[in-house]
Amino acid sequence: MMNKKDIRKDILSIRDSLSDSQREALNNKIFDKVINSSEYKRAKCIFVFVSYRSEVNTHGIIKHALSSGKIVCVPKIISKDEGMKAVRIEKFSELVPGAFNILEPISTYKKIDETFIDLTYVPGVAFDRHGGRVGYGGGYYDRFLKKLKKDSEKIAICYNFQLLDEVPRENHDVSIYKIITD
């Protein structure tokens, strides 16, 4: 089995090499699967990462959820030690480049208690069918996911090539409930 560093290098290289038209076609398939899933339909409060660079585009999902009347929270990085918080947004335009140049809310004024979240869309570099996940190495999501209530659903959104037979796991890694790919 490859180590996390090599997996990151290989998968990100493939992901970064997608053409705009390939990426758009794959993103459209994933968007349709997400908004038509039973988890999405029944969730009142969702937490969704704001896509960055070559990640699966979540901007459409965020805008759809907002227009559907869902409570939408996105990550706001506080610090390496404090990790990230879930902050409610009411319009996509409230997001500005923040930590790591990723779009995020300006302040934590509308912070949401993690136990209020029904459904979380989790980013990552690679996943396996046993709930394993390789993130970007900062540990922000593993720490955040541990704060969610037990029955809060954690769904990864990724391209099919990001799904591997097995990824390395460590004790602090949080398992993913379901994976949606193209």
Residues 146-157: tens digit of each pLDDT: 999 988 999 999
How many domains is the chain built from? Answer: 1
Known binding residue 121? Answer is no
CATH number at residue 168: 3.40.50.10420
Known binding residue 69? Answer is no
pLDDT of residue 115 exceeding 90: yes
Structural domain including 174 reads 4-180
Known binding residue 137? Answer is yes
Give the pLDDT confidence score for residue 62 in this predicted structure.
98
Distance (Å, whole) CA 163 – CA 166: 8
C-alpha to C-alpha distances, 17 to 9, 10, 23, 63, nearest whole angstrom: 12, 11, 10, 26
The neighbour count for residue 19, using CB atoms within 10 Å, is 8
Known binding residue 85? Answer is no
Give the pLDDT confidence score for residue 18 in this predicted structure.
97
Known binding residue 140? Answer is yes
Known binding residue 131? Answer is no
CA atoms within 13 A on the CB side of 111: 10
Known binding residue 135? Answer is yes
Residue 138 contacts residue 81 (beta carbons within 8 Å): no
Whole-model pTM above 0.85? yes
Known binding residue 136? Answer is yes
Known binding residue 138? Answer is yes
